Amino acid sequence: MKKIILISAFLFSFSFSQSLLGVRYPTGVSYPATTTSARIGSTGAGLKEPYLVNSLNPANVGAIKQSVYTLSVNADYQRIIGENDKYSDFYSFSPSFIGFAFPIGKAGTLGASFGQNGANNYSYSAESYLPETTFVTETPSETYNRIEQTQRFDNSISHSSWEFGWGMELFRRISVGASYQMSQYKNRMVRSDVLKNSPYSALDSIYSGLDSIYYNQAGSAVSFGLLGNFSKLGVGFAMTIPFDVYIKSKRTISVLQQNSDGSYSDFPMHDNSIFNDPKKYKMKLPPSWIAGFSWEFSDKLKTMLDFNVTMWEKYKTDAPFLGYETEVLPPPEDGEQPNNAGDLANLDKLSNALRISAGTQFIPQPNLLSSKFYQKMRYSGGLSYKQLPIDGDWEMSFSVGLGLPLGNRGIVDFSLETGLRRSENYDEYKENFVRVNFGMSGGQVWKKSSNNIY
């Protein structure tokens, strides 16, 4: 059903979305968690960097020797271009990550974070008049262009998680880490249809209906990672494994009643029109892994390269409207087409999503005590290519950024990312985006106070 809506929604509707294509992905559109990673092309899994905390690799926590915090927010501008080069612009602003790390002496370091893993908000509405052939009357012209039809579809997806982890450094070259994630997945789909009289209609009836489905899952997952530094080479690997968890569902079928001010209120159609499914369907999100490499040419220049795979082919659920494998009912033997033939919940096929990212960072004078401010700034940039969860969809972006040092108090990060999102299945649609990321990070070395008295 989503695929059918996607084809027609852009041309005659109003829509608000982070991504029109992203409505077809189970957890929406993802983006870099921290601004530190965003300004180096979404890399960092093989880099020892305190301000990344556990955002890419839980083993990074084991390499942190001071208490740190990091906060990131992002603002999006998106332009969706449809047929005949018609376009719509959209804006959004949201926090994306907050993280902390605390060393606990020889026992290692503890880390905690909250991050937005994926999200998408999509809405469209369309108004039209029913043609005269819709109703069979003695005088069709009486209803022609007099029955107004309003259709609306809304879909809101959100996937976020709390992550608590531990890490430890071994032999001053290798750090290990593990974490436990508590995630929250929400998916709400609402469809409404309203048939009402036009100002000149002689009919008195108003027909309306609203069908809403809400899914909510409190999920969990475990992550583990390794991070090593060998002279100038840094290597990291991490994997996340979600558990098979119940997902709650609620469906409500309502009628819409028009108020005196022109707005609508909804009421359950009858006593049995609210379904709190006691079965509790199951949904298992896909496992993922990331491998990262870094190379330090000198104290001034570093480069990074990351490979990330999310195995969407292992995604599974028995919840209605959330599955990606369905069958078309065959026509009856007499050759008549049934009403629901071809009306699938989702015609798209999930495929494993691959992301390849490369980034670099340059500091003109990192060790010069009397250097000027601009000589200690971190000049950064990167490229990223993604194969998205639906086969044939892809995304490419380019980013530049600055890290503004605050002395011993931390750093302020800023990045600007621009890119495009395309689909081989919908070549008439184009999505171009600009994302601004802002972050602030800081830390303090904890030292044991001296007991000596002078």
Distance of CA 103 to the CA centre of its chain: 31
Handedness of CA 58, 63, 69, 73 (dihedral sign): negative
**Sign for the pseudo-dihedral over CA of 180, 23, 81, 89:** negative
Q: What is the mean pLDDT of residues 167-193?
A: 91
The two structure tokens encoding residue 375 = 């000589």
pLDDT in tens, 102-145: 999 999 999 999 998 888 877 777 777 766 545 544 454 454 44
Label residue 270 exposed, middle or buried (CB < 10 Å: 0-12, 13-18, 19+): exposed
Mean pLDDT of 267-292: 79
Whether the pLDDT of residue 12 is over 50: the answer is no
Average pLDDT over residues 223-247: 94
Residue 8 in tokens:
């027609």
Which H, E and C letters describe 234-283, residue by residue?
Answer: EEEEEEEEECCEEEEEEEEEEEEEECCCCCEEEEECCCCCEEECCCCEEE
By mean pLDDT, which of 60-69, 126-135, 290-299, 400-409 is the weakest?
126-135
DSSP structural state of residue 159: E
pLDDT band at 43 (very low <50, low <70, confident <90, very high): very high
pLDDT interval class at 170 (50, 70, 90): very high
Q: Pick from 196, 161, 194: which is nearest to 180 by CA?
A: 161
Confidence of residue 1 (pLDDT cuts 50, 70, 90): very low
pTM of the model: 0.81
Q: Over the chain, what is the mean pLDDT?
A: 81
Spatial contact of 128 and 139, defined as CB atoms under 8 Å apart: no
Q: Is the pLDDT of residue 454 over 60?
A: no
For the chain, give the percent of residues with pLDDT over 70.
78
pLDDT level of residue 94 (50, 70, 90 thresholds): confident
* Distance of alpha carbon 350 from alpha carbon 26, whole angstroms: 9
- Give bridge partners of residue 156 from the DSSP assignment: 121, 188
Measured torsion, CA atoms of residues 224, 351, 283, 42, in degrees rounded to the nearest 10: 40
Name which of 73-82, 164-173, 263-272, 389-398 the model is least confident about: 263-272
Judge residue 36's burial from the number of C-beta atoms within 10 Å of its C-beta, 0-12 exposed, 13-18 middle, 19 or more buried. Answer: buried
pLDDT tops 90 at residue 48 = yes
For residue 63, give the DSSP letter.
G
Lowest mean pLDDT among 145-154, 263-272, 297-306, 365-374: 263-272
| Percent over 90 (pLDDT), the chain | 44
Superfamily of domain 2-329+341-444: Outer membrane protein transport protein (OMPP1/FadL/TodX) (2.40.160.60)
**pLDDT per position as a tens digit, 377-435:** 999 999 999 999 998 899 999 999 999 998 778 899 999 999 999 998 888 888 999 99
Q: Count the neighbouring beta carbons within 10 Å of the beta carbon of residue 163.
A: 22
Cβ(164)–Cβ(149) under 8 Å? no
- Integer Cα distance of 202 and 128 in angstroms: 18
- From the CB of residue 107, how many other CB atoms can be counted at a distance below 10 Å? 9
Q: Which long-range contacts (CB under 8 A, 24 or more apart) does 324-333 make?
A: 324/26, 324/348, 324/349, 324/350, 325/349
329 against 88, higher pLDDT: 88
CA distance 34 to 312: 23
**Tens-digit pLDDT profile for residues 204-234:** 456 677 788 888 999 999 999 999 999 899 9
Q: Determine the 3-state secondary structure of 14 from DSSP.
A: strand
Q: Is residue 41 within 8 Å of residue 153, measured between CB atoms?
A: no
- pLDDT at residue 101, rounded to an integer: 96
Give the per-residue pLDDT at 160. 92
Q: What is the pLDDT of residue 166?
A: 96
- Reported as half-sphere exposure (CB side, CA atoms, 13 A), residue 104 has a value of 12
Mean pLDDT along residues 72-82:
86
Q: How confident is the model at residue 9 (pLDDT cuts 50, 70, 90)?
A: very low
Determine the pLDDT at residue 252.
Answer: 82
pLDDT value of position 175: 96
